């Protein structure tokens, strides 16, 4: 299974790639300033892990773009964020998206996260 990681922090990208590869997944990573849609077309991931807070293009705008394009709308997305509280994620995410036609992401991990929690979420989303 292929996982695309979109995060602006090089250390997080490297950490996620190593951990997921150790768990048997094929990984690719892009920075927030690289076109997400081009990477998705090229890699055809089974799952996208997306950071929300990025300086050049927010994860929210990337998520909206993904959900607006039929060819990407069925790819599960796991959001990772240190700014959205775990229990209040849906409420806060809805405010950020500001569009009732866009569905919630399939998964959410609050930073800092336990590696085992992330691996479990990824496994559940790829079943």
Question: Residue 8: what pLDDT?
Answer: 87
Residues 119, 117, 103, 100: what is their CA dihedral angle, to the nearest 10 degrees? -150
Is pLDDT at 19 greater than 80 in this prediction? Answer: yes
Beta-sheet strand order (sheet of 26-30): 26-30, 2-6, 47-51, 77-81, 107-110
**Number of domain units in the chain:** 1
pLDDT for 43-57, tens place per residue?
A: 999 999 999 888 777
Residue range of the domain that includes 75: 2-125
Question: Residue 98: what pLDDT?
Answer: 80
Question: Residue 31: what pLDDT?
Answer: 75
pTM for the structure as a whole:
0.90
Question: Residue 102: what pLDDT?
Answer: 83
Contacts (Cβ under 8 Å, ≥6 apart) of 64: 97, 99, 102
Is pLDDT at 28 greater than 90 in this prediction? Answer: yes
Question: Residue 73: what pLDDT?
Answer: 87
pLDDT for 60-116, tens place per residue?
A: 888 988 888 899 989 999 998 877 655 667 777 777 778 877 888 999 988 888 899
CATH of residue 46: 3.40.50.2300
Question: Residue 53: what pLDDT?
Answer: 80
């Amino acid at each position: 299974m292929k996982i695309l990681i979109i995060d602006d922090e090089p250390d997080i990208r490297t950490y996620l790639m190593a951990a997921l590869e150790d768990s048997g997944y094929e990984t690719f990573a892009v920075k927030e300033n690289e076109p997400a849609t081009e990477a998705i077309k090229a890699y055809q991931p089974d799952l996208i892990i997306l950071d929300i807070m990025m300086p050049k293009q927010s994860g929210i705008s990337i998520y909206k773009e993904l959900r607006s394009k039929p060819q990407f709308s069925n790819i599960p997305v796991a959001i990772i964020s240190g700014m959205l509280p775990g229990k209040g994620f849906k409420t806060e995410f809805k405010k950020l998206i500001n569009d009732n036609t866009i569905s919630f992401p399939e998964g959410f991990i609050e930073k800092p996260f336990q590696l085992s929690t992330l691996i479990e979420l990824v496994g559940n989303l790829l079943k």
